[in-house]
């Protein structure tokens, strides 16, 4: 037998013995604690086999059997899952400070990305500093008002592109790709004053491809997340591939940063106050507490997360409206009555469109961007409802399950925007206070981009529905819209939506 093969076989056998021994000691320790109830675990693999391809659904079913707070052993990782409003409030409000840490995925540690990430950093001083910078300099009410023209221009470019493509080719539009490109460009112009997706710029195209490939990889199951000792082996090749995509994305962002620094160095007086963007703000703050690596990570986080979640949500909304023509008609009638057909939708119109708001809320209930949120971690042990949550436990909140809870929602699987126009639903918001409905999370780890996402989602969706009638290719009936999903950090359509636009406004408006 080959000596190298014998060596690696010995390593694996020895590792298995060590892990099994550690596992048994760990199980004895955890059995002595009054953990939340849950299914019986197998040696080594624990409850991994119960998750399936759609863990959000599997965990929802388990919560129906064991209760709204359950314990699972996912490989070597103790995991507690909250699946009700009351338990979510315990995790995200009552014990927010203790449970606001992060369980960091193995893939997030590649190139030490997690150390400068707003999303994956622990609940510590540098995370609070990064979050404060983004909140005050990009997502505050004042900054959002000042950047309204950027969102308006980005959406108009999208509408004009759809119109021109339809007039010249008359083909269907891939709404999935279009939403990613539109969201990237909107965020790119807000932060970098440039289109991040530009088909005529090879570096920009490479960045877009890198960021989408990176997201696809990090959403795939990774054995190292359940058995950390396997991380150095990189058995699935995840680390190597993710590292390559991340380096490509870093190249583009470093290029943007170096070009901006060169311009500022050439002519310091060219820093016109009204045209300073988020990158200028970050460069002004650069120093021992904010390195170029930190700046690059902040930009990457916001571009990646903002575009991925917004694009997915608009895709779900268009899918539901196309397969529910009566809901689409109600939305268009409201837009016609408020905006008319002789101009484009403005952000100032949005507050006067209650049915549109109800549509967005219903989509966020049915298809929350993060079905299980980003996993939290217990910094110390704490107690919830008489159960112990041990230190370093991974804590998840099944937002998808909460949106489908029949004890809270009438006909929970049905697309009914009207539920948010009457009764208790009319008072419900997704800002983190109504725990039955927290698609953006709650507490200190609530999505920091929520104020911008709120504006983006409503403006993009309103513009698409107001500007065009939509049908399926080749005369397909509306009940053929595929609404199945792929589970991941972000909930996405299994098949990207293809739809045919027909202009419904005067052509000079486009």
**Over the stretch 57-66, which tens digit does the pLDDT of each residue have?**
999 999 999 9
Whether 23 shows a pLDDT value over 60: the answer reads no
Enter the pTM of the model: 0.91
Per-position b or e across 183-212, b if 16+ CB within 10 A of its CB: bbbbbbbbbbbbbbbbeeeeebeebbebbb
Mean pLDDT, the chain, whole residue set: 91
Q: Could you report the per-residue pLDDT of 451-489, keeping only the tens digit for each? A: 999 999 999 999 999 999 999 998 788 888 999 999 989
Question: Picking from 166-180, 238-252, 422-436, 477-491, which range would have the lowest pLDDT averaged per residue?
Answer: 166-180
pLDDT at 191 over 60: yes
Structural contact between residues 67 and 414, judged by C-beta atoms closer than 8 angstroms = no
What is the separation of C-alpha 37 from the centre of its chain, rounded to a whole number of angstroms?
Answer: 29
pLDDT of residue 27: 52
What are the backbone angles phi and psi of residue 106, rounded to the nearest 5°? -55, -40
Query: In this model, does residue 272 exceed pLDDT 90?
Result: no
Q: Which residue has the higher pLDDT, 25 or 225?
A: 225
Report the SS3 class of residue 442: coil
Domain ranges of the chain: 33-509
pLDDT band at 15 (very low <50, low <70, confident <90, very high): low
| Strand order through the sheet with 69-74 | 69-74, 77-82, 394-397, 376-377, 101-102
C-alpha distances in Å from residue 492, one per residue of 193, 369, 466, 484: 28, 8, 24, 9
Buried b (16+ CB within 10 A) or exposed e, 470-503: bbbeeeeeeeebeeebebbbbbbbeebbbbbbeb
CA distances from 299 to 136, 138, 152, 296, 305 (A): 15, 11, 21, 5, 10
The residue among 306 and 168 whose pLDDT is bigger is 306
The answer to whether the beta carbons of residues 282 and 298 sit under 8 Å apart is: yes
pLDDT digits (tens, 9 = 90+) for 340-353: 999 999 999 999 99
pLDDT band at 31 (very low <50, low <70, confident <90, very high): low
Cβ neighbour number for residue 389 with a 10 Å cutoff: 25
Give the 3-state secondary structure of residue 487: coil
Count of positions (residues) in the chain? 510
Determine the pLDDT at residue 10. Answer: 53
The whole-number average pLDDT for the span 249-253 is: 96
Strand-pair partners of 501: 470
Q: What is the percentage of the chain residues whose pLDDT exceeds 70? A: 92
Tell me the mean pLDDT in the region 417-428: 92
pLDDT of residue 9: 47
C-beta of residue 420 within 8 angstroms of C-beta of residue 361 = yes
Q: Residue 492: name the closest of 328, 356, 307 by CA.
A: 307
Residue 228's closest CA among 322, 117, 105? 105
The whole-angstrom separation of Cα 102 and Cα 309 is: 20
pLDDT in tens, 218-232: 888 888 999 988 888
Q: Average of pLDDT values for 499-504?
A: 94
Cα separation, 23 vs 229, whole angstroms: 12
- What CA–CA distance (Å, rounded) separates 265 from 77? 50
Q: Which helix (H) or strand (E) holds 388?
A: strand 387-389
CATH T-level assignment (fold) for domain 33-509: Cytochrome p450 (1.10.630)
Confidence of residue 6 (pLDDT cuts 50, 70, 90): very low
20 vs 466, more confident: 466
Q: Record the tokens describing residue 290, joined without a space.
A: 């904010």
């Amino acid at each position: 037998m080959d000596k190298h093969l014998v060596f690696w076989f010995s390593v694996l056998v020895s590792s298995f013995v060590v892990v099994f021994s550690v596992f048994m000691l760990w199980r004895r320790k955890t059995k002595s604690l009054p953990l939340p109830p849950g299914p019986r675990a197998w040696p080594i693999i624990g409850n991994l086999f119960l998750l399936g391809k759609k863990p959000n659904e599997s965990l929802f079913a388990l919560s129906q059997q064991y209760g709204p707070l359950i314990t699972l052993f996912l490989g070597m990782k103790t995991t507690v899952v909250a699946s009700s409003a009351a338990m979510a409030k315990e995790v995200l409000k009552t014990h927010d400070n203790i449970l606001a840490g992060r369980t960091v995925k193995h893939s997030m540690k590649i190139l030490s990305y997690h150390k400068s990430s707003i999303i994956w950093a622990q609940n510590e001083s540098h995370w609070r500093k990064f979050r404060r910078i983004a909140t005050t300099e990009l997502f505050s009410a004042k900054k959002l008002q000042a950047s309204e023209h950027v969102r308006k221009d980005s959406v108009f470019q999208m509408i004009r592109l759809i119109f021109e493509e339809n007039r010249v080719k008359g083909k269907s539009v891939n709404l999935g790709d279009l939403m990613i490109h539109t969201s990237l460009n909107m965020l790119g112009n807000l932060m970098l004053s440039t289109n991040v997706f530009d088909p005529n710029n090879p570096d920009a195209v490479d960045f877009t491809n890198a960021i989408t490939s990176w997201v696809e990889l990090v959403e795939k199951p990774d054995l190292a997340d359940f058995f950390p000792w396997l991380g150095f082996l990189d058995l699935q090749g995840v680390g190597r591939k993710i590292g390559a995509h991340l380096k490509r994305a870093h190249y583009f962002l470093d290029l943007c940063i170096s070009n901006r620094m060169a311009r500022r160095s050439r002519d310091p007086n060219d820093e016109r106050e009204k045209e300073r963007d988020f990158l200028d703000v970050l460069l002004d703050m650069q120093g021992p507490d904010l390195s170029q690596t930190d700046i690059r990570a902040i930009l990457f986080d916001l571009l990646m997360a903002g575009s991925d979640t917004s694009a997915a949500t608009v895709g779900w909304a268009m899918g539901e409206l196309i397969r529910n023509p009566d809901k689409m008609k109600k939305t268009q009638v409201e837009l016609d009555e408020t905006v008319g057909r002789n101009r484009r939708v403005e952000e100032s119109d949005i507050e006067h469109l209650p049915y549109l708001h109800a549509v967005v809320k219903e989509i966020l209930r049915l298809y929350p961007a993060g079905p299980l949120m980003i996993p939290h971690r217990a910094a110390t042990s704490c107690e919830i409802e008489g159960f112990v949550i041990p230190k370093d436990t991974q804590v998840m909140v099944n937002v998808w399950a909460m949106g489908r809870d029949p004890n809270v929602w009438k006909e929970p699987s049905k697309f009914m925007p009207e539920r948010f126009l009457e009764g208790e639903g009319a008072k419900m918001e997704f800002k983190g206070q109504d725990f039955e409905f927290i698609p953006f999370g709650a507490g200190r780890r609530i999505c920091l981009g929520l104020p911008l996402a709120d504006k983006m989602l409503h403006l993009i969706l309103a513009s698409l529905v107001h500007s065009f009638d939509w049908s399926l290719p080749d005369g397909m009936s509306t009940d053929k819209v595929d609404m199945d999903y792929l589970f991941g950090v972000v909930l996405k359509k299994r098949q990207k939506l293809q739809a045919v636009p027909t202009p419904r406004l005067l052509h000079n408006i486009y």
